[in-house]
């Protein structure tokens, strides 16, 4: 017979992981479609999610409000009011047919950490602020990081004119939501108010799982260059043009794609290159393709490395096009810089991970995050939490409760042992 401890049910205190996962599920129920998760900027689901998160912030002992762009902002004062803050955060918007962990895990973990400090009456020599960014994914207006850009003071006014798929401008959507598009500047924070910005996020990749580790230290958010390439040959009859006389743009593109993959595979510095889109013209079974366009996305942990790789890859594509007598046009369509995580903060993340008894493992982030905007007003660090199969932006996205709990304990230890840059260096 199993021995029952008297009153054990009443004494049971759930772990931080249990609380976080319970709230992840509650938040995931706020979706514009019942069958899949979708929660985008300035919708009634955005509002409902904000209200729920604000309530959780208040119950964690924070003052909380919605800012001028729709971010949720909570503040837990330090040993005395008005001290600069350690800012924690992540986003609470989603892609369409999303997983429920991307964004909310970092936000809800931060709130649970503050709640834990509050339960113990623990005040620190700095304030803690938790920010839930209203739009990171950029789903509705095809412009990313709107929430964190507003906080960093780098929100570009011209995006207010952008329209969603239904033709509603961002300006009108803000008004309908109850916000004033002419006062987004009020969301901006000053560098002097922030000691650092630290974000916990699911890895969205398979590396921690392969290493059998629940958490990792992010070294940098990889910059990206996107290119559009177009090869022009000569369309012709699939039956009558001899092989030696062909200028087949698709066969040329295939050789280019093979060369890009081979180039990136031999790189040992974390370079990744992806051809994710290809279009062949005229696109018929019995016609030699005369024109092919494809895209190329290249990322690396440093800007210098990425730029060198882009130069080398373009040179290879040029050589292939020349040998095959194909016309070539290559344009850069998008470029963003690498955001390095600050060494003084990385050390503290590593110490917190080691302090919880896990091996310290460092990895770059191939995906973009709010830190890319926050770097303009604060030094940035990130903690990654393992997710199953590395799957993200998909309903199969999954984090084990034990890993959510490990992430929370690491973040809490980091907060409680946090030293400012001056004290740390």
Of 103 and 223, nearer to Zn ion (C-beta) is 103
Is residue 74 at the binding interface for Zn ion, with CB under 5 A as the rule?
no
Question: Is 21 in contact with 387 (CB distance < 8 Å)?
Answer: no
Question: Residue 7 and residue 317: Cα distance in Å, rounded?
Answer: 71
Of 103 and 273, nearer to Zn ion (C-beta) is 103
Of 103 and 290, nearer to Zn ion (C-beta) is 103
Smallest gap from residue 202 Cβ to Zn ion (A): 8
Selected range binding Zn ion among 5-13, 94-102, 146-154, 340-348, rule: CB under 5 A: 94-102
Smallest gap from residue 147 Cβ to Zn ion (A): 11
Is residue 102 at the binding interface for Zn ion, with CB under 5 A as the rule?
yes
Smallest gap from residue 102 Cβ to Zn ion (A): 4
Smallest gap from residue 103 Cβ to Zn ion (A): 4
Of 67 and 102, nearer to Zn ion (C-beta) is 102
Q: How many residues bind Zn ion (CB under 5 A)?
A: 2
Smallest gap from residue 188 Cβ to Zn ion (A): 22
For the CA atoms of 355, 359, 364, 366, the dihedral, rounded to the nearest 10 degrees, stands at -100
Is residue 93 at the binding interface for Zn ion, with CB under 5 A as the rule?
no
Of 31 and 232, nearer to Zn ion (C-beta) is 31
Smallest gap from residue 201 Cβ to Zn ion (A): 6
Smallest gap from residue 104 Cβ to Zn ion (A): 9
Of 53 and 288, nearer to Zn ion (C-beta) is 53
Of 140 and 247, nearer to Zn ion (C-beta) is 140
Of 102 and 405, nearer to Zn ion (C-beta) is 102
Of 139 and 414, nearer to Zn ion (C-beta) is 139
Find the binding residues for Zn ion in span 103-132 (CB under 5 A): 103
Smallest gap from residue 305 Cβ to Zn ion (A): 24
Selected range binding Zn ion among 14-22, 99-107, 163-171, 254-262, rule: CB under 5 A: 99-107
Question: Is 132 in contact with 62 (CB distance < 8 Å)?
Answer: no
Question: Is 398 in contact with 235 (CB distance < 8 Å)?
Answer: no
Smallest gap from residue 131 Cβ to Zn ion (A): 14
| 3-state secondary structure labels for all residues of the chain | CCCCCCCHHHHCCCCHHHHHHHHHHHHHCCCCCCCCCCCCCCCHHHHHHHHHHHHHHHHCCCEEEECCCCCEEEEECCCCCCCCEEEEEEECCCCCCCCCCCCHHHHHHHHHHHHHHHHCCCCCCCEEEEEEECCCCCCCCCCCCHHHHHHHCCCCHHHHHCECCCCCEHHHHHHHHCCCHHHHHHHCCCHHHEEEEEEEEECCCCHHHHHCCCEEEEEEECEEEEEEEEEECCCEECCCCCHHHCCCHHHHHHHHHHHHHHHHHHCCCCCEEECCCEEEECCCCCEECCEEEEEEEEEECCHHHHHHHHHHHHHHHHHHHHHCCCEEEEEEEEEECCEECCHHHHHHHHHHHHHCCCCCCEEEECCCCCHHHHCCCCCEEEEEECCHHHCCCCCCCCCCHHHHHHHHHHHHHHHHCCCCHHHHC
Selected range binding Zn ion among 35-43, 102-110, 354-362, 372-380, rule: CB under 5 A: 102-110
Smallest gap from residue 312 Cβ to Zn ion (A): 31
Of 102 and 379, nearer to Zn ion (C-beta) is 102
Q: Which residues bind Zn ion (CB under 5 A)?
A: 102-103
């Amino acid at each position: 017979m199993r021995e029952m401890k008297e009153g054990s049910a009443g004494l049971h205190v759930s772990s931080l992981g249990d609380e976080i996962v319970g709230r992840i599920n509650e938040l995931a129920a706020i979706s514009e479609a019942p069958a899949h998760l979708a929660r985008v900027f300035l919708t009634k689901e955005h509002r409902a999610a904000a209200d729920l998160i604000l309530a959780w912030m208040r119950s964690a002992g924070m003052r909380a409000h919605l800012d001028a762009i729709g971010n949720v902002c909570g503040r837990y004062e330090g040993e005395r009011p008005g001290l600069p803050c350690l800012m924690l955060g992540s986003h609470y918007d989603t892609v369409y047919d999303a997983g429920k962990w991307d964004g909310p895990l970092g936000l809800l973990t931060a709130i649970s950490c503050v709640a834990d400090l509050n339960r113990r009456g623990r005040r620190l020599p700095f304030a803690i602020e938790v920010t839930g960014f209203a739009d990171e994914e950029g789903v509705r207006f095809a412009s990313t990081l709107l929430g964190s850009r507003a906080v960093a003071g780098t929100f570009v006014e011209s995006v207010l004119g952008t329209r969603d798929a239904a033709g509603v401008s961002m300006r009108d959507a803000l008004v309908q939501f109850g916000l004033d598009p002419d006062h987004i500047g009020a969301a901006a924070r000053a560098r002097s108010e922030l000691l650092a910005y630290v974000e916990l996020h699911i890895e969205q990749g398979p590396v921690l799982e392969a290493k059998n580790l629940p958490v990792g230290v992010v070294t940098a958010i990889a910059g990206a260059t996107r290119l559009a390439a177009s090869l022009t040959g000569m369309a012709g009859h699939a039956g009558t043009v001899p092989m030696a006389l062909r200028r087949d743009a698709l066969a040329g593109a295939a050789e280019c794609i093979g060369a890009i993959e081979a180039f990136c595979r031999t790189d040992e510095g974390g370079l990744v290159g992806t051809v994710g889109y290809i279009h062949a013209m005229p696109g018929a079974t019995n016609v030699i393709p005369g024109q092919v366009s494809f895209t190329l996305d290249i990322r690396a942990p440093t800007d210098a490395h990425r730029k060198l790789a882009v130069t080398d890859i373009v040179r290879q594509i040029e050589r292939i096009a020349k040998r095959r007598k194909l016309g070539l046009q290559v344009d850069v369509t998008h470029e963003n810089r690498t955001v390095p995580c600050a060494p003084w903060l990385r050390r503290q993340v590593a110490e917190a991970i080691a302090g919880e008894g896990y091996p310290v493992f460092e990895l770059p982030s191939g995906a973009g995050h709010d830190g890319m905007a926050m770097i303009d007003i604060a030094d940035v660090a990130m903690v990654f939490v393992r997710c199953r199969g590395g799957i993200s932006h998909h309903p199969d996205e999954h984090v084990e409760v034990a890993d959510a709990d490990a992430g929370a304990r690491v973040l809490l230890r980091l907060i409680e042992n946090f030293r400012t840059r001056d004290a740390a260096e």
